[in-house]
Amino acid sequence: LKSNPSNNEEKEAQAQLTKSDELQRLHSQALSAYQQEDYKAAISLLDEILAVCVWDAELRELRAECYIKEGEPSKAISDLKAAAKLKNDNTEAFYKISRIYYQLGDHELSLSEVRECLKLDQDHKQCFSLYKQVKKLNKQIESAEEFIREGRYEDAISKYESVMKTEPEVPIYSTRAKERICHCLSKNQQATEAIKLCSEVLQLEPTNVNALKDRAEAYLLEDMYEE
């Protein structure tokens, strides 16, 4: 304004100042909502601020935290990916993205994100610990699938049993392992065991197409055509 004191400039400057005051007020409200665990309200306020402050990595990270608490992991990933690009050496964002993918059962994407974290800081304790876990699990699943392709069903079953021991905390891996073991039992003509295990999977996931197909194959082996 001092360099160019005209009416238009003054109006523009006043409008921007008013807007910045408004955004600071919204920011305080968003932080307060987050602290009170009202994550829906915090998201709504952060949406308004981020419509203007598009490049603010910290606000995106805060909104990602709210999305995680609200059970919307894919939206959290999208904000964290933006934050990873906006802030240099953002190991924290890569770590969080990797953890979310891991919890969702996407071990391959989890592995690739945690590697990005370690590229930035090879001594990052949390990333290194997660990397070891995901790499071990990934390797077991890959070799189990290789056994299935080769028709070595007993070996595949044993490998998927190891997967359940490696990750007992995240239920999706146990369910996937049981689904694949059922497939192996069915292929291996062990119909009774296959039916039992596929039924376990279908109690958890009634629309699991693979388990339905494998259980149907097992019923055929037992001449249970109605089933």
Distance CA 65, CA 70 (A): 9
What is the per-residue pLDDT across 126-178, written as a single tens digit (0 to 9) for each?
999 999 999 999 999 999 999 999 999 999 999 999 999 999 999 999 999 99
Place 13 in a pLDDT band, splitting at 50, 70 and 90: confident
Q: Which of 137, 139, 117, 140 is nearest to 128 (CA)?
A: 117
Q: Cα–Cα distances in Å, from 138 out to 40, 87, 112, 142, 210?
A: 35, 29, 11, 6, 21
- Averaged pLDDT for residues 20-25: 94
Contacts of 186 (CB under 8 A, 6+ apart): 194, 198, 214, 215, 217, 218, 221
What is the per-residue pLDDT across 98-128, written as a single tens digit (0 to 9) for each?
999 999 999 999 999 999 999 999 999 999 9
Place 66 in a pLDDT band, splitting at 50, 70 and 90: very high
- Residue 62's Cβ-count burial label (10 Å; 0-12, 13-18, 19+) is buried
Q: Are 197 and 183 in contact (CB under 8 A)?
A: no
